[in-house]
Amino acid sequence: MSQSRSFRLSENEMNEILEHHETPFFVVSTEKIAENYNFLRKHLPHAGVYYAMKANPEPAILQTLSALGSCFDVASAGEIAMLAGLGIGGSRMIYANTVKDRRGLAAAQQYGVKRMTFDDESEIAKIAAYVPDAEVLVRIAVHNKRALVDLNTKFGAHPEDAIPLLQKAKAAGLRPVGICFHVGSQSLSTAAYEEALLFVHGLFAEAKAAGLALTDLDIGGGFPVPDSDGLALDVAAMMETIDRQIARLFPETAVYCEPGRFIPGTAANFVASVIGTKDRGGHPWYILDDGIYGAFTGLLFDHWHYPLYTFPSKPGKAIASTLAGPTCDGIDVIAEDYETPRLAIGDHVLATDIGAYTSVSATRFNGFDIAPTYIYEEECAASSGEQELRVAAH
């Protein structure tokens, strides 16, 4: 199997969970989390893993990954403290937010987070004040037009400044250990990684000539998952190509990646209910109990479209319909021209591939609660024991 398949609840399993819980809710499969982690380790064996927990910091996900030996990419005091609370030490974290605030630096100092990234001279004295022996990686901007989320306008030093920045860090007493980049999130380009690796290889040689012995390379995240159109890319082949390039160019370097989306993206489902219906000149609208301010914030923040499935209580012909959220804002629309048989109040809607950048950015706008996350293996313990993890191809 070259393509990782997504976790999807069967209708029976969904109904089983609905017997114990009201909608809306997420269901995460920790087995699928482990499968995604192992997939990455298998196809990209030359890179260690620092899970970018901002994608989904659900404790069961962090614990599953921790047990498998994963390290973690953190960006704030809150994320550092959360991992520390799970017994994960600072030596297993990289503080990969290039601009760190005082609370984050104090937490890094308190919990022993020594490895961190920066992309501007102004950061050096701040780091030195809190973690004087920090091991720092300079983040450089790289080019990639084929990423859904650009991370190279706000982040990354100009490559020409990389070596001078590392030298300045050294002069301030820090330990300049390496270089990092992020090609952008949901990258559909393997070449972007290959080109970045080739370029950084040149920088490593320049650093050596300048008297800096760099030991670490951090290739960031960006590995893609399917959306409502599937995924027209073989992720295993992508990772294997990157891996070959690492093995060829960086045989002596400690290389690691920071996958966010790839780990939880395909491991969660979301179940909502129809709470109201409207007829707009023959075009049905269905109001659900969660929307763009909740589980579906990714429609806005993450430029995303989730695969959706409806469960009509009465069979019928599929017609173009609008699915919307419960808040009093007109932008709270989840899908337009979505083909579904007519739905009634109480019918359910399932979304898949909704595990990354979703629950974590949900809001309480209008006083609606943030949907809870349940763990598939706990909810469906009886059935999941005997049966294979249910997955659905796209």
Ligand X SMILES: *Cc1c(COP(=O)(O)O)cnc(C)c1O
The residues binding ligand X (CB under 6 A) are 52, 54-55, 73, 96, 182, 185, 220-223, 258-262
> Could you say which of 71, 180, 257, 328 is catalytic?
328
Residue 394, helix vs strand vs coil: coil
**Nearest-approach distance from CB 222 to ligand X, in angstroms:** 4
Between the CA of residue 191 and those of 78, 244, 247, 255, what are the distances in Å?
A: 35, 13, 16, 18
When the beta carbons of 54 and 115 are compared against ligand X, the nearer one is: 54
Candidates 334, 369, 366; CA nearest to 350 is 334
Token pair for residue 262? 């790839």
In b/e form, how buried is each residue of 26-43, taking b as 16+ CB within 10 angstroms? bbbbbbbbbbbbebbbeb
324 backbone dihedrals φ, ψ, rounded to 5° = -135, 160
Candidates 324, 314, 327, 325; CA nearest to 285 is 324
Residue 380 a catalytic site member: no
When the beta carbons of 7 and 304 are compared against ligand X, the nearer one is: 304
How crowded is residue 130: how many other Cβ atoms within 10 Å of its Cβ? Answer: 18
When the beta carbons of 21 and 301 are compared against ligand X, the nearer one is: 301
When the beta carbons of 40 and 371 are compared against ligand X, the nearer one is: 40
Candidates 186, 183, 185; CA nearest to 225 is 186
When the beta carbons of 267 and 288 are compared against ligand X, the nearer one is: 267
**Nearest-approach distance from CB 103 to ligand X, in angstroms:** 18
When the beta carbons of 17 and 151 are compared against ligand X, the nearer one is: 151
How far apart CA 60 and CA 331 sit, in angstroms, is 33
**Nearest-approach distance from CB 259 to ligand X, in angstroms:** 5
Q: Would strands 25-28 and 135-139 be described as parallel, antiparallel, or unpaired? A: unpaired
**Nearest-approach distance from CB 19 to ligand X, in angstroms:** 34
Residue 347, helix vs strand vs coil: coil
**Nearest-approach distance from CB 278 to ligand X, in angstroms:** 36
By beta carbon distance, the residue nearest ligand X is 221
How crowded is residue 164: how many other Cβ atoms within 10 Å of its Cβ? Answer: 13
Token pair for residue 368? 């609606």
Residues 255 and 193 sit within 8 Å (Cβ to Cβ)? no
**Nearest-approach distance from CB 75 to ligand X, in angstroms:** 7
- The residues assigned a catalytic role are 328
